[in-house]
Amino acid sequence: MAVAVRSATVSIVRVPALPGVELTEVVGAETPRAPRVVSAYEIAVCHEGEIQLFRRGRIRCFTRGFVSLAQPGEVVRVLRTSAWLRYQLVQLEPSVVGERVLATADHAAAFPYHFREPLTADPVLMEGLLGLIGAIKGAPGEVPRWVAGLLGRLRSAHCSEPALTGRQGPRVEAVRRVREYLERHYAEHVPLATLARQVEVTTSHLIRLFRAHVGLPPHAYQARVRINRARALLREGVRPADVATETGFSDQSHLTREFRRVVGVTPGRYQSAIL
């Protein structure tokens, strides 16, 4: 289903036979959205225009001929867009990716996936992504085959081994613990002092440390976690008013404002597009 958003048309398609696969298509002039925390593996292609992104500490230009890769937990910040855009983004939820990896003969494959670079001009990956998009739109029965092929290419050419927790420094470990705490308590009011006590630092030091490693301050990160959880509940058919309560927003209006800033559509429109 397609909905108009800020002079752009956003279409969202899900595959009933393979829950956890979602295609978003955007055509038109789109105002940059608020930074977001990625909740699924995202593979995107830009057909027209340019999107200026801040990814992994650098400004990067996502334009025609490139595939954008993002993994769960990454922060994506859109700095600027051209006057006209046309791009497609496929989201693969971790459960889908994990099942496909375990179903292959290569059980030693690194999972979860960690993409080495956020942008690539790999023509083989591009072909696989466009094939998957075509299957999602017109041949749902072929989606599992295309997903398997795409994951195979990602694994062989674009993934690195995940860092082991024991090898990470104390700062990275502190940030990881704070993120996990916020993800467990996303619907609660969590004072900064509580977070600081978790890792035995001052609140000011925590804010600087967290922003440097994640790209957002702690409470902005928590707000994005709430949005991701809201999306999941909306996909399950939960009413927006109940979603607001379950995810820690003060009311439905608060959810609607924040959801639209990040996702680009209201909760009601998002739900109507996918159900």
**Residue 12 contacts residue 270 (beta carbons within 8 Å):** yes
The per-residue pLDDT for 99 is 66
What is the pLDDT at residue 14? 86
**Structure letter (DSSP) for residue 107:** T
Which residues are registered as beta bridge partners of 45?
67, 88
- How far from 51 is each of 48, 66, 76, 157, 210, CA to CA, in Å? 10, 11, 12, 24, 26
Which residues of the chain have a pLDDT value below 70?
1-7, 99-112, 161-168, 275
Query: What per-residue confidence (pLDDT) applies to 102?
Result: 47
As a whole number of angstroms, the longest Cα–Cα distance in the chain is 54
Tokens of 70: 């993002």
- From the list 43, 10, 38, the residue with the least C-alpha distance to 127 is 43
CB 125 within 8 A of CB 153: yes
Instruction: Enumerate residues 6+ apart whose C-beta is below 8 A from 205.
Output: 196
Predicted confidence at residue 107, as pLDDT, reads 42
> What are the structural domains of the chain?
2-160 (2.60.120.10), 166-274 (1.10.10.60)
Strands 58-63 vs 114-115: parallel, antiparallel or unpaired: unpaired
Give strand pairing partners of 58: 55
Please say whether the beta carbons of 164 and 176 come within 8 A. no
pLDDT value, residue 5:
44
pTM of the full predicted structure?
Answer: 0.86
Write down the pLDDT at residue 251. Answer: 96
State the pLDDT at residue 145: 92
